[in-house]
Amino acid sequence: MRTITTTADLAAFCEVAKGQPYVTIDTEFLRERTYWSKLCLIQMAIPGAGEAVLIDPIDGHAMSLEPLYDLFRHEATVKVF
């Protein structure tokens, strides 16, 4: 399992995922001293490609989650939460 911390790596992973019938997704949130929870970690796997990743949106890098949003809108790939 590898960690994704850049937009380029996220975009590459999402392009592979778009070519698969489904992708599995798990999310972790932090809700400490705030009313709204904060997305802290996204775990994703592409079973057909044999790849699993951790996406760390708060690692301090300026990473855009837009490639992930594009994958979520991609109707041909089923998302299993």
- The pLDDT, as a whole number, for residue 19 is 95
pTM: 0.87
Residue 78 has pLDDT above 80, yes or no: yes
What domains, with CATH codes, occur in the chain?
A: 2-80 (3.30.420.10)
> The tokens 């890098």 sit on which residue?
61
| 8 Å CB contact between 55 and 78 | no
pLDDT tens by residue, 21-54: 999 999 999 888 878 888 899 999 998 889 999 9
Instruction: Name all contacts of 9-12 with Cβ < 8 Å and 24+ positions apart.
Output: 10/55, 10/63, 10/64, 10/65, 10/67, 10/68, 11/67
Triad 78, 13, 63: Cα angle to 5°: 110
